[in-house]
Amino acid sequence: MILPKLRILLVTCFCLPGIAAASADPVLELSVKDRLVTGRVDGASLAATLERLGSQTGIDFTIESASLANSPIIRIFNEVSLDEAIQALAGSSNVLVYRQTEEGRKLEKVIVLGRGVERTTSQERGFSVAYGPGDDQLGAVDGVEGASEGPASFAVDQHGNLFVCDTVNHRLQVYDPDGRHLRSIALGEIVPEDVVFDKDGLIYVYGTDDTLSQLDANGNVLTTIKVDSSRWKSRGPMRVVDGNIYIRGNGAGDTAIATIASGALAQPTEAQLGEGVAKGFLGADGQRFVPAVDWRNKVGNVRIDYPDGRSVTVSLPKSGVIGAEFLGEDQGGSFYVKTEADQDDSIAIDVFVFDATGRHQKTIAIPSEEYNYWSIRSAVATGSGEVFNMAPGSDHVSFHSIKP
């Protein structure tokens, strides 16, 4: 993946028109594809600034000049906030420092300050599964007149085993984290389109006929209810939160489709039905996560609405963002957001991890793969912090598990 280059310009303010000569503090400017932005870092040294930017963007910086390490960077323009500057900086592969001289205001190269690098991961595993009707394979159909169809979704149980919706062959295929086929769960007339687990290990399968079925760990159907799909225009993946099952309705947020009462599936309550298609996604502590993408500028953010009325908005540290999906929370309260971004005529997929307060912790780069078939869910973040990805290619399905 080739990332766009950026320049960092260190400019003394007495060289700029319209700025009071009494202040001699430099300004941080970022230029991305001829678009100039300026960032606010009040009273911070260059070293502290880069440490902060690194923690929020996932970019590692090194300072190769002791004399530059203590240079202050102060914002003196009002055009753009630091958040937008961080978003621009997040896509950097090379970061160069320049200085504007008083003589003719010429830019002269000072030093190569650092290099943006992707975060490494401590563990990464992957395997692939061929298409076909075999016991350990997954089905796929290339439609000539009809629509193409392949594996529609997957979920990960508490042991790290992957349960894949083999929609073509009407079954769930179960693989361990290393790709060994463990078993097949035949579903009869149920054509699986999505699958999730609850905290007790029970399995929930959404069928293409708008039915929701509850299965035990052995794959036996316990209860089935009909889902009223007229309540939304488009449907996304399922989630289980506090004994309730939601889908992503109209791409906006949680929409209740069932509740789990006395261990069995039941229709949503009247109160849940009254909420309709909600905005954002419920968290374990009652907060709501609302991802948003500015399509014009290709940047994104996540607003966190707390039960006490407070709201915090955090920027997605990536340029070129064209899509953002909330994946969920882990057991420590950190939350995970998957993005798709334009990167030099290709699409880069990343998962950003934020702590419960919205501070960016790490970036997980999803390996580049072919996506030949549509799937309702392509990424899963588990309670232990592991991220799984499914990529249905043209002749096989690739799975990756990444644990930072």
* pLDDT of res. 297: 82
Residue-by-residue DSSP string for 318-361? -SSEEEEEEEEE-TTS-EEEEEEEE-SSSEEEEEEEE-TTS-EE
Helix (H) or strand (E) holding 206: strand 203-207
**Domains of the chain and any CATH numbers:** 6-114 (no CATH), 123-403 (2.120.10.30)
Helix, coil or strand: residue 141 = strand
Residue 151, C-beta contacts closer than 8 angstroms, at least 6 positions apart: 138, 139, 140, 164, 165, 166, 167, 373, 375, 390, 392, 397
Local confidence band at 23 (pLDDT 50, 70, 90 cut-offs): very low
Contact predicate 258/269, CB 8 Å:
no
* pLDDT of res. 147: 64
Partners of 37 in the beta sheet?
A: 30
Distance of CA 89 to the CA centre of its chain: 18
Is 90 exceeded by the pLDDT of residue 272?
A: no
* pLDDT of res. 361: 86
What is the C-alpha to C-alpha distance for residues 302 and 283, in angstroms, rounded to an integer?
13
What is the C-alpha to C-alpha distance for residues 15 and 48, in angstroms, rounded to an integer?
25
Is 50 exceeded by the pLDDT of residue 160?
A: yes
Residue-by-residue DSSP string for 144-183? SSS--B----EEE-TTS-EEEEETTTTEEEEE-TT--EEE
Percentage of the residues of the chain whose pLDDT score is greater than 70: 68
Local confidence band at 29 (pLDDT 50, 70, 90 cut-offs): very low
* pLDDT of res. 317: 83
* pLDDT of res. 188: 92
Highest mean pLDDT among 8-22, 47-61, 83-97, 328-342: 328-342
Rounded alpha-carbon distances, angstroms, from residue 91 to 5, 120, 325, 349, 396: 8, 16, 19, 12, 31
* Higher pLDDT, residue 265 or 19: 265
Average pLDDT of the segment spanning 29-58: 45
- The predicted-structure confidence for 197-218, as pLDDT tens digits, reads as follows 999 999 999 999 999 999 999 9
pTM: 0.71
Local confidence band at 58 (pLDDT 50, 70, 90 cut-offs): low
- The predicted-structure confidence for 286-327, as pLDDT tens digits, reads as follows 999 999 998 888 888 999 999 998 888 888 888 888 999 999
What is the C-alpha to C-alpha distance for residues 169 and 119, in angstroms, rounded to an integer?
39
Highest mean pLDDT among 59-68, 102-111, 263-272, 382-391: 382-391
* pLDDT of res. 403: 85
* Higher pLDDT, residue 170 or 4: 170
* Higher pLDDT, residue 104 or 384: 384
Percentage of the residues of the chain whose pLDDT score is greater than 90: 48
**Token pair in block for residue 74:** 């102060």
